[in-house]
């Protein structure tokens, strides 16, 4: 994964580099949570407060750090409190997840990394569409 990040970054493909870097970061988070689960299971169980019963059961029975990837990343970040992170730090990490989602998912808006900061989010999509020029399509009429 590091090679994917480095190669894409070196070649100016920043969005792909960002995705690879995000995957590395979340793997780090999952492995830290896994270590909590293995070394202090009571703390881990307490960290499940607020999760639904089914999710709690699944995470308690996890046999791999990657089981945590099935849960929403923003929710999983709450486990960082067990490592001593306060809510402000967790909020910063959650904002990075939001930025990734804005960048990576086709949702009809331009990438948050490419949007002007002064434009309110609600008007960014329509502003992007009004500034866009149509892409010329090849003529389907082959007769001369």
pLDDT in tens, 89-121: 889 888 888 887 777 666 544 444 444 344 444
pTM to 2 decimal places: 0.63
Please give the Cα distance from 74 to 57 (Å, whole number).
19
pLDDT digits (tens, 9 = 90+) for 12-62: 988 888 888 888 888 988 998 899 999 999 989 988 888 889 999 999 999
Q: Is 117 a member of any domain? A: no
Q: Is 8 a member of any domain? A: no
Q: Is the pLDDT of residue 85 over 90?
A: no
Please give the Cα distance from 110 to 107 (Å, whole number).
8
Please give the Cα distance from 71 to 43 (Å, whole number).
19
Q: Is 9 a member of any domain? A: no
pLDDT at 105: 63
Query: Residue 91 is part of which domain span?
Result: 18-105
Q: Is the pLDDT of residue 82 over 60?
A: yes
Q: Is 77 a member of any domain? A: yes
Q: Is the pLDDT of residue 77 over 80?
A: yes
Domain count, the chain: 1
DSSP codes of every residue in 66-91: GGGGGS-HHHHGGGGGGGT--HHHHH
Nearest partner of 48 among 64, 36, 39, judged by Cα: 36
* Contact assessment for residue 58 and residue 68, using Cβ atoms and an 8 Å cutoff: no
Q: Is 55 a member of any domain? A: yes
pLDDT at 81: 84
Place of tokens 């492995």: 31
pLDDT at 106: 64
């Amino acid at each position: 994964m590091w090679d994917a990040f480095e190669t894409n970054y070196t070649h100016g493909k920043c969005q792909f580099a960002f995705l690879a870097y995000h995957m590395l970061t979340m793997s780090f988070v999952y492995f830290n949570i896994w270590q909590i689960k293995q070394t202090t299971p009571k703390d881990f169980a307490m960290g499940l407060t607020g999760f639904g019963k089914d999710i709690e059961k699944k995470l308690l029975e996890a046999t791999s750090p990657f089981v945590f990837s099935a849960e929403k990343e923003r929710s999983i970040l709450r486990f960082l409190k067990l490592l001593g992170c306060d809510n402000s730090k967790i909020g910063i990490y959650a904002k990075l997840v939001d930025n990734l989602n804005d960048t990576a998912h086709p949702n009809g808006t331009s990438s948050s990394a490419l949007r002007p900061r002064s434009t309110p989010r609600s008007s960014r999509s329509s502003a992007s569409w009004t500034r866009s020029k149509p892409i010329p399509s090849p003529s389907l009429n082959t007769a001369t």
